[in-house]
């Protein structure tokens, strides 16, 4: 029951309004009612987020461990893996579309790709787990096929094309979705690896800019096609979102007669 003291209203005439739960320290100080399940719900979502972060990092580390293991086997056994690289225009080099990103030319090459793949892969797995199931194959194939069709006659190998695709995917999908998580991930991605924009163009000799370019195009295409694959993330409501609007309470008593004092009475014509 709303109180009418000091307002000139009759409390018996007012209709009961449901009191919606309010969350926040200031509401506690005002003595308002608080949803008893809000804190538990927030803790549950926080625990779920921590689990998803650990799962994303763990799965990305497993993939990177596979890359390191393959390179160690190649170095220890002194194996010739040219057949597994992308050879543009050569039909036998098509197998490199699938195997090329798994190989690296040196330990330095592998180390330079490890950190970007760890960070970008973990963020993509955490923020867009459903979209990543389709985005990663699309980026992988776009980078490899584009290089095989239009690349320079050489041996192209390494996962940098996939890293560029993930970077462009995370950034563009954040611009398209514009929810809080997507914007944070996009800003963090651009802050850390925004310089990848320049490495999709011809530059340093010996660097496969073709794989970077077509991987980036694959990432943009994946962002456009898969931006709605994952649902919007849950967020805790702010305290002011749970408070009733002031406009919900009428400024006068519904049973009170309303007179407009601003209307001037009709004037009689003056005769001259």
Q: Match 């030319």 to its residue by tokens.
A: 105
Residue 172 CB coordination number (10 Å): 20
Which pLDDT does position 245 carry in this prediction?
57
- State what percent of residues in the chain have pLDDT above 90: 53
Which pLDDT does position 47 carry in this prediction?
85
Domains of the chain in sequence order: 38-226 (1.20.1540.10)
Which pLDDT does position 15 carry in this prediction?
44
**CB 113 within 8 Å of CB 104:** yes
Strand, helix or coil for residue 259:
coil
Which pLDDT does position 1 carry in this prediction?
42
pLDDT in tens, 240-264: 555 655 555 555 555 666 555 555 5
More confident residue, 196 or 20: 196
d(CA 110, CA 179): 34
**CB 230 within 8 Å of CB 128:** yes
Q: What share of the chain is helix, strand, coil (3-state, %, to 5)?
A: 65, 0, 35
pLDDT in tens, 116-157: 999 999 999 999 999 999 999 999 999 999 999 999 998 999
**CB 125 within 8 Å of CB 186:** no
d(CA 41, CA 203): 51
Token pair for residue 222?
A: 């994946």
Burial environment of residue 253 by CB neighbours within 10 A (0 to 12, 13 to 18, 19 or more): middle
pTM: 0.73
pLDDT at 235 exceeding the cut of 90: no
212 pLDDT band (50/70/90 cuts)? very high
Q: Which residues pair with 3 in a beta bridge?
A: none
d(CA 212, CA 159): 9
Task: Pick the range with the lowest mean pLDDT from 29-43, 134-148, 163-177, 218-232.
Answer: 29-43
Strand, helix or coil for residue 61:
helix
Most confident of 69-78, 81-90, 216-225: 216-225
Which pLDDT does position 26 carry in this prediction?
40
Which pLDDT does position 178 carry in this prediction?
87
CA triple 158-144-185, angle to 5 deg: 70
Which pLDDT does position 48 carry in this prediction?
84
pLDDT, average across residues 169-183: 93
Token pair for residue 249?
A: 């309470």
224 pLDDT band (50/70/90 cuts)? very high
Token pair for residue 101?
A: 């990103």
d(CA 79, CA 94): 20
């Amino acid at each position: 029951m709303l109180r009418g003291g000091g307002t000139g209203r009759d409390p018996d005439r007012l209709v009961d309004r449901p009191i919606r739960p309010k969350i926040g320290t200031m509401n506690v100080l005002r003595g308002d009612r608080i949803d008893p399940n809000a804190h538990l719900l927030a803790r549950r979502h926080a625990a779920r987020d921590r689990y998803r972060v650990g799962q994303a990092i763990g799965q990305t580390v497993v993939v990177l461990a596979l890359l390191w293991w393959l390179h160690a086997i190649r170095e220890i056994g002194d194996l010739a893996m040219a057949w597994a690289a992308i050879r543009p225009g050569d039909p036998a080099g098509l197998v490199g579309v699938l195997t090329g990103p798994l190989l690296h030319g040196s330990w330095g090459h592998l180390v330079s790709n490890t950190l970007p793949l760890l960070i970008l892969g973990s963020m993509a797995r955490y923020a867009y787990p459903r979209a990543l199931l389709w985005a990663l194959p699309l980026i992988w194939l776009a980078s490899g096929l584009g290089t095989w069709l239009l690349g320079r006659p050489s041996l192209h190998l390494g996962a940098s094309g996939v890293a560029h695709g993930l970077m462009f995917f995370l950034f563009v999908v954040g611009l398209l979705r514009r929810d809080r998580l997507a914007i944070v991930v996009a800003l963090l991605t651009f802050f850390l690896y925004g310089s990848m924009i320049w490495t999709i163009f011809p530059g340093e000799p010996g660097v496969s800019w073709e794989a970077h370019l077509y991987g980036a195009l694959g990432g943009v295409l994946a962002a456009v096609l898969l931006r709605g694959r994952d649902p919007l993330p849950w967020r805790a409501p702010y305290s002011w979102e749970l408070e009733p609007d002031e406009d919900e309470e009428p400024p006068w008593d519904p049973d009170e007669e309303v007179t407009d004092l601003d209307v001037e009475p009709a004037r009689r014509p003056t005769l001259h």
